[in-house]
Amino acid sequence: MTSASSSKALWWKEWRQNRWSWMILFVIVTWLPVGKTVLKAVLNEPFVAEIYGGLPREVAWSYEVGAVLSREPVMLDNGFTFQDPPLIELAPFAVLVFGAWIVSRERMPDTTSVLASMPYTRGQILMAKVSFGSLSILAMTSFSLLFTWIIPFFFPAVYHPLTAVEWFLYVTPILLAAFALGVFAASWTANPVVAIGVSIGLMLFPVIIRRFVLEWLHIPSLHEEMAALQYHLLLPDLLNRYQWNEITWIIPPTLLFIGGILILSARALFQRNDLENNGGVVAIGHVRQWLSALVPILAGLCVLSLYIGPFDGRSPWWALGLMSTGTAITWYVIKAAVLRLKAPSSDKGGIR
């Protein structure tokens, strides 16, 4: 266990390193329901309920917030209905990338040299990152929750505060699971770009496997099974199901449980592998170059299996998975060409 002073020092290090990415993530996570509403109020832009319902500005803002918090469309007196997703679609991907980034950047040479001079184990370093990231996500969603609870004391509101609690209890575990997935991917990859690409690929794995089975292997009999796989495991889809009231409350605790397993696995991998292993693709022990090539080769097979033709209205998640896989391959080619002879071999020394 880290002492209070050690934890404080590690947390201060995390804040100094990641404060700008933290601020960007804060804006993305709190954009709905807080940022968009506040920005419209500051810029004096009309709310939806003002435009289509003719409601006064003092109450129209609450329809905007209620459209985010409610699991059903918000209806105005004239019958006009509208609804927003619980978070912007970028939010789970931003949290995923944040988790992969704060862990994988420790394998960069400048950061490794600093850590080598500090009296901390790799387990302590990783758990400081996990606690920093997890509590940051919790603080961001809590900020949105408090905003939706406090602002009605100053302006009239039409939504019920309990809808904000439901929103908080559902979206927070999804974001924490995305963060844990990013940490897990970064614990066994050897540089930030590959970690981010692999983490996005893992998140979109249900989409990738569905495309692989249905469009490359041509097994239409598995259509229902593949659809169910994507329906139950794809985090962005789980998030969007909130606005259509298609949720089950077993999802949040299940995601927290899976996230805990991912974090424990990430800690074991991070402690076992050399932190100083930089310049390759994976960081699982003292892997050889041909073994490192397995990651981009498998990614290349995924690209070949998914690319049936030009992008003709396919799902944006499919396009993002294809892009992230291509990014991982490109990064490996550049690294292999430039650093094959330059990358120092790891020894058993360094941070334990």
| Cα gap 237→229, rounded to integer Å | 11
| Cα gap 133→164, rounded to integer Å | 23
The predicted pLDDT at position 336 comes to 59
Q: What tokens does 179 get?
A: 């963060």
Q: Is the pLDDT of residue 7 over 80?
A: no
The predicted pLDDT at position 86 comes to 95
The predicted pLDDT at position 295 comes to 56
Where does the pLDDT of residue 291 fall: very low under 50, low under 70, confident under 90, or very high at 90 and above?
Answer: very low
Task: Give the burial class of 336: count Cβ atoms within 10 A of its Cβ; 0-12 exposed, 13-18 middle, 19 or more buried.
Answer: middle
The predicted pLDDT at position 123 comes to 85
Q: What is the torsional sign of CA 51, 55, 59, 63?
A: negative
Where does the pLDDT of residue 213 fall: very low under 50, low under 70, confident under 90, or very high at 90 and above?
Answer: confident
The predicted pLDDT at position 55 comes to 93
Question: Tens digits of per-residue pLDDT, 17-74?
Answer: 899 999 999 999 999 999 999 999 999 999 999 999 999 999 999 999 999 999 989 9
The predicted pLDDT at position 310 comes to 42
Q: Is the pLDDT of residue 145 over 70?
A: yes
| Cα gap 267→184, rounded to integer Å | 8
pLDDT above 70 as % of the chain:
71
Map out the domains of the chain as residue ranges.
4-339
Question: Tens digits of per-residue pLDDT, 152-170?
Answer: 888 889 998 899 999 999 9
Q: Which has the minimum average pLDDT: 41-50, 169-178, 201-210, 252-261? A: 201-210
Q: Which has the minimum average pLDDT: 123-137, 228-242, 303-317? A: 303-317
